[in-house]
Structure 1
Amino acid sequence: MAKVLYSATASLDGFIAGPGGDMSWLTEHVGGDNPTAERVLDNVGALLVGNGTFGGDDPNRGTDREGAFGGQYHGPVFVLTHRPPTEPPPDVTFVGDLHTAVAQAKEAAGDKYVNILGANVAKQCIQAGLLDEILMFFAPVLLGDGVRMFDHPGGTNVRLAPLPGETAHWYTVVY
């Protein structure tokens, strides 16, 4: 059965996007040889994407690397939104309910991962007890402002345990 994974690249100060969702900072920090990222990509069976992320900035827009995982992901995409477009793009499913979106994405993923793109969707999955794992990659840059990888004003305590035998910064969520 599929697991739900939140994987992202963050600045060292914990931002996955700059102010206004700007992703241009990421261009110089991705690519190259990263066996963990390649292994994750090989094991993603579906994406669950927030509407802001889906319609947001792509640092590779207009290039052959445009799209999820630098344009390397080709598979089912589920967008969580209450405002689907009137003419949705082909091969993208828009879903208005978190539990339904996760269930549909898990079914499509089979025994692979559902990879979350978007901090808000990841936060909703954590709050609903639906997130299984978190994998963070860190870029050697400090942004100082933007979209945090996890933001919960007033604080919360989400317990994480390192995944045995895995790379640093890959955790299971402990509920």
Structure 2
Amino acid sequence: MGKLQYQCMMSLDGFIAGPGGDMSWMADYLGPDPAVDEVMRRTGALLVGRRTFGGDDPHKGTEQEGEPYGGGWDGPQFVLTHSPPDAAVPGVTFVGDLESGVAAARAAAGDRDVGVLGAQVAAQCIAAGLLDEVFVSVAPVMLGDGVRLFDDPDAAAVKLERLGVVESPAATHLIFRVVH
């Protein structure tokens, strides 16, 4: 079985989205990247938060808009929501709770990893003791405000073990194992 891995990009000052969920800032830091390509190759399914699924897109206005990783990844997606849309979305299953979402994503991924997208879903996975790793790409920009990587003042401390640091032209990638 693969890992449950939170995958995200963050500004140096700790934001994964700008004010109002704006993700357009990421466009300057996306593109060919061997480290991200490897993460996508190992990812067999996505577990996505509803706000992330329906939110702003760094590829807005391009052919890649609405595609996971700008079209660089293809596979089953499981979106956590209590309010699924009326119309079906190809390749997307809407699930109502974390446990069934994780179980379905793991089954779909097989021996590959499940990529977790969305800060709230990642925080829920941590709180439930389910998250195995964090892969965060740190972009050389400071946004000053927005959605933080993790923003729960009541959360317990989480111990992480650094597994790697990978430099790329556009970002520095940090890989951590969650110590349970």
- What TM-score does the superposition give when structure 2 sets the normalisation length? 0.91
- Which is further off, 64-73 or 45-54? 64-73
CA contact (8 A) 1:46 1:77 kept: yes
Aligned to 1:28: 28
Letter aligned with residue 131 of structure 1: L
1:11-43 C-alpha deviation (Å, 9 max, x unpaired): 0011110111100111111113x2111100111
| CA distance in structure 2 between the aligned counterparts of 1:156 and 1:97, rounded to whole angstroms | 22
| CA distance in structure 2 between the aligned counterparts of 1:151 and 1:129, rounded to whole angstroms | 17
Aligned to 2:62: 63
Aligned to 2:169: none
- Which is further off, 84-93 or 128-137? 84-93
CA contact (8 A) 2:24 2:60 kept: no
- Which is further off, 57-66 or 84-93? 57-66
Letter aligned with residue 142 of structure 1: M
What value does the CA root-mean-square deviation take over the aligned residues?
1.3
Letter aligned with residue 107 of structure 1: A
Aligned to 1:173: 178
Letter aligned with residue 25 of structure 1: W
Letter aligned with residue 39 of structure 2: V
Task: Verify: 1:81 aligned to 2:81, yes or no.
Answer: yes
Percent sequence identity is 55
CA contact (8 A) 2:161 2:179 kept: yes
CA contact (8 A) 1:2 1:111 kept: yes
Flag the 1:100–1:36 CA change in 2: closer, same or farther, 3 A.
Answer: same
Aligned to 2:103: 103
CA contact (8 A) 1:48 1:115 kept: yes
| CA distance in structure 2 between the aligned counterparts of 1:154 and 1:74, rounded to whole angstroms | 36
* Per-residue deviation, 1:70: 1.8
CA contact (8 A) 2:6 2:122 kept: yes
Letter aligned with residue 90 of structure 1: P
| CA distance in structure 2 between the aligned counterparts of 1:71 and 1:173, rounded to whole angstroms | 28
What is the DSSP-based 3-state SS (H/G/I as helix, E as strand, rest coil) of the residue aligned with 2:107?
helix
Letter aligned with residue 19 of structure 1: P
| CA distance in structure 2 between the aligned counterparts of 1:56 and 1:72, rounded to whole angstroms | 18
| CA distance in structure 2 between the aligned counterparts of 1:146 and 1:131, rounded to whole angstroms | 24
Divergent runs of 4+, >2 A: 165-168
Letter aligned with residue 60 of structure 2: R
- What TM-score does the superposition give when structure 1 sets the normalisation length? 0.94
Letter aligned with residue 20 of structure 2: G
In structure 1, stretches of 5+ residues that fail to align are none
* Per-residue deviation, 1:64: 2.3
Aligned length: 173
